[in-house]
Structure 1
Amino acid sequence: MATPVRVTRLCRLVGRTVSSPSARHRQAVSLPARTCFISTTTWKNLLFKLDERTAHSSLDLFKKDTGVIYRMLGLDPTHVQDNPERFRDWAVVFGNERISSGRHYWEVTIKKSQEFRLGVAEAAMSRDDCVGTNRCSWVFSYAQRKWFAMTNGKTVPVTLVGKPDRVGILLDYEAGLLGLVDIENPRIIHAFKAQFKAPLCPAFGLWDGELLTHSGLEEPEGLK
């Protein structure tokens, strides 16, 4: 595996943003408790939509909140309902379900975007951060025609020939595994090994085009 390197280019600041606190005052937000924790005894397959309450003002949801599209100008942040769950500086949106156990699989159609991030993040992650730049988010990034695995501000190149139209994400909470899946020839292309200690949400960053999520799916056979 390639040696991790420090990120030299973090997320792009998109659209107009509201003022945010200085770095030394930034803390993970305290979010209200929900009753939507995923349990393997409650759901056979993880089913989620994108959570508009978390979406940056440059992102619009469509197709019954399963897709997200990037708008160059976006909305004036003052015209978007203010709440502690919304990302203020970065073009990020979370899924509306929290995962605290189990093994789960979903897919994302990515053919209409050339710059995005896919993965998971702790539900209480600071809304002043971008996914992949802190210790509580794990994502696969695509930019400049290359794939990377990102967490805690570090990147590792992911060997993947070309860019498929659709990829899979496999999360095994107890095993501490997050994998990027080739769905044409089902296999895990690259995986994170981590120790998940808090509820996670599906997480997406988008800087052009659109993404479409597909949840409630069976895991392909043969993945380990």
Structure 2
Amino acid sequence: MAAPAVAAAAAEVLCGGSMRSLSVLSARHSRCMTPLQSRTYVASTPRNDAKFRLDEKTAHSSLDLFKKDTAVIYRILGLDPAQVRHNPERFRDWAVVFGDEKISSGRHYWEVTVKKSQEFRVGVAEALMSRDECVGTNHSSWVFGYAQRKWFAMMNNKTVPVTLVGKPERVGILLDYEGGVLALVDVETGSVIYSIKVKFQGELCPAFGLWDGELLTHSGLEEPAGLKCRDL
């Protein structure tokens, strides 16, 4: 079973490739390490908190879903792909699973318990993304990842280090579709750690990559009160 080639150099390597209407905000303009009181996050985008489960039809054969499809665990051996029901929506080469909610508007917030994994990616991807690719390696997915005790933002096979995060037990993801923002949120302080500026197109799904341990998702949540970031 495949492991992502970019994970070994998660925060150090910048791979080539063009981006479609996509930019990673610089460290100076993308991080707010403490709650700020200057203005609201994106006041113009209506909230529509997505509630989703993990979609078994998309899950790679090394991933098992549990807790009523809200959690996923990585199995080193996994299932024999020949024994897994064929589905064109299933990831074939990468340990990835999508959420079953398709998002094309609004502002959404969910959290992920990550304390039992040391190598994972969380974010969003276009619903029609190729199942032969891994999240973060193409122009159809945008993720925050953790590997080798380092965080990074990743899209189109480019990685940007995300510093001063540590290894929390739980992180938040904020998606503002119209505002074109995907943000990693510190759930303890209710502040944006790092954000990616994107011009989203088409339907998006919550996306998860996992190469050890397990992840537990918590969806349908209200975003932290007063979630703000001066530079957005």
TM-score range, shorter chain: 0.7 to 0.9
1:76 to 73, 80, 84: 80
1:134 paired with 2:130, answer no
Percent sequence identity over aligned pairs: 75
1:10 to 6, 10, 21: 6
Question: Cα distance, 1:200 vs. partner?
Answer: 0.2
Give the structure 1 partner of residue 106 of structure 2: 102
Give the structure 1 partner of residue 210 of structure 2: 206
Contact 2:59 2:90 survives alignment (8 Å): yes
Give the length in aligned residue pairs.
189
Question: Cα distance, 1:161 vs. partner?
Answer: 3.6
Contact 2:181 2:197 survives alignment (8 Å): yes
Give the structure 1 partner of residue 116 of structure 2: 112
Contact 1:53 1:85 survives alignment (8 Å): yes
1:45 paired with 2:49, answer yes
Separation in 2 of the partners of 1:181 and 1:207? 22
Question: Cα distance, 1:45 vs. partner?
Answer: 2.3
Contact 1:56 1:90 survives alignment (8 Å): yes
- SS of aligned partner of 2:82: helix
Question: Cα distance, 1:44 vs. partner?
Answer: 4.7
Contact 1:106 1:215 survives alignment (8 Å): yes
Contact 1:11 1:90 survives alignment (8 Å): no
Separation in 1 of the partners of 2:146 and 2:7? 12
Give the structure 1 partner of residue 126 of structure 2: 122
Separation in 1 of the partners of 2:166 and 2:188? 13
Give the structure 2 partner of residue 154 of structure 1: 158
Q: TM-score, normalised by structure 1?
A: 0.81
Higher relative contact order (CA 8 A, sep 6+): 2
Question: Cα distance, 1:162 vs. partner?
Answer: 1.6
Question: Cα distance, 1:197 vs. partner?
Answer: 0.8
1:88 paired with 2:92, answer yes
Contact 2:48 2:107 survives alignment (8 Å): no
Question: Cα distance, 1:222 vs. partner?
Answer: 1.8
Separation in 1 of the partners of 2:158 and 2:6? 10
Q: 1:126 to 1:44 in 2, by over 3 A?
A: closer
Question: Cα distance, 1:9 vs. partner?
Answer: 3.5
Q: TM-score, normalised by structure 2?
A: 0.79
Q: Give runs of ≥4 in structure 1 deviating > 2 Å.
A: 8-12
1:58 paired with 2:68, answer no
Separation in 2 of the partners of 1:122 and 1:44? 18
Question: Cα distance, 1:139 vs. partner?
Answer: 0.2
What's the CA shift string for 1:69-119, capped at 9, x where partnerless? 000000000100111100000000000010000000000000000000000
Contact 1:123 1:201 survives alignment (8 Å): yes
Separation in 2 of the partners of 1:11 and 1:125? 20
Q: 1:93 to 1:201 in 2, by over 3 A?
A: same
Mark the runs of 5 or more structure 1 residues left unpaired by the alignment: 1-7, 13-39
